[in-house]
Amino acid sequence: MTLALIAVTSLFLLVATLPIYGAVLVAPFILGLFLLALVGVLGDVSDRTVRRENRDLDPTAWRNGS
C-alpha cells in the first residue's frame, strides 16, 4: 500500500513539476522514484495464475475413473 502511494504521488509530482522552468533537472529523479515504486508494487502482486489440482472439483473425474 505504501509503495502504491509513493508511485501515485511521484507520478503526480512529475506531471505537476514539468511546466515549471528548471524542472528538467529534477524530473529524472522523480521518474526514477516512480519506476522503483512501480516495480515494488508489481513485485508484490501475488501470482494467481498457477492452477492447483483439486480432485473434488475435477469435472472429468467420472471419465478418468477416479
Q: What is the pLDDT of residues 6-19, one digit of tens each?
A: 889 998 988 898 88
Residue 23 lies in a domain: yes
Residue 57 lies in a domain: no
Q: Return the axis-axis angle of helices 2-17 and 27-44, rounded to nearest 10°.
A: 150
Q: What pLDDT score does 51 carry?
A: 65
Q: What pLDDT score does 57 carry?
A: 67
pTM over 0.95: no
Q: What pLDDT score does 50 carry?
A: 64
Question: What's the domain count of the chain?
Answer: 1
Which residues constitute the domain of residue 11? 2-44
Nearest to 26 by CA among 16, 36, 37, 41: 16
26-49 pLDDT tens trace: 889 988 999 999 888 888 777 666
C-alpha 34/C-alpha 49 separation (Å) is 27
